[in-house]
Chain A
């Protein structure tokens, strides 16, 4: 039931864009996105509750395709502070599963 993320890892130069995908074999009722910096706890970025919903957080936004059971996280004009591991998460009721994770490294 764990969502699968792609790519597993990506390296960007400052100012470049990236897309992280999250796919589930089960129906998605919501999609969360979190960022975890090395050695720290995950931090909530955003949650999408409806199919077709799109949300933005500074230069980070996400979309949710309920029919395709997918979500994508878009990072534009990346900054050094965007480095970390990004996790999507989904669940039903009180059960919750984090995705496999995507390591994103932004270099000068």
Chain B
């Protein structure tokens, strides 16, 4: 069966520090991968999605970037974190196009910026 791993579970970082969150999927090949952010008490905002290695689409301009160095690995990065980057970051995968396939989420990373 397919599983998705996301780490770390929680992270506290100072303003201006770099960020690297990692997500890996097991048990499937060529998944669509997504990064979402959820502010406290709010909905899910799509940040990036990827349909293949090296293929990244950005939905929201910000100081974050994403990379997909391997088929089942998705990384979210930042060179300098802002206070507004705080939130719950979720990685998800789907077996095909997002609009007609269910998305399955990792457990998320709770990021606090001090």
Binding site for B on A (CB under 8 A): 2, 29-30, 32, 34, 40-44, 47, 49, 87, 89-101
Contacts and interface: CB of A to CB of B under 8 A. Distances in A.
Contact of A91 (B36, B45, B51, B99): B99
Interface string B75-109: 00000000000000010000001111111111110
Contact of B32 (A34, A44, A94, A97): A94
Contacts, number: 65
A93 B105 contact: no
B103 A44 contact: yes
A105 to B, nearest CB: 14
Given A30-B99, A30-B100, A100-B43, A94 B57 contact: yes
B100 A94 contact: no
A91 B107 contact: no
A90 B99 CA distance: 6
B74 interface: no
Central interface residue in B51, B99, B105, by most chain A CB within 10 Å? B99
A46 B74 CA distance: 25
A99 B43 contact: yes
B43 A2 contact: yes
A98 B43 contact: yes
Contacts of A40: 107-108
Central interface residue in A29, A89, A90, A100, by most chain B CB within 10 Å? A89
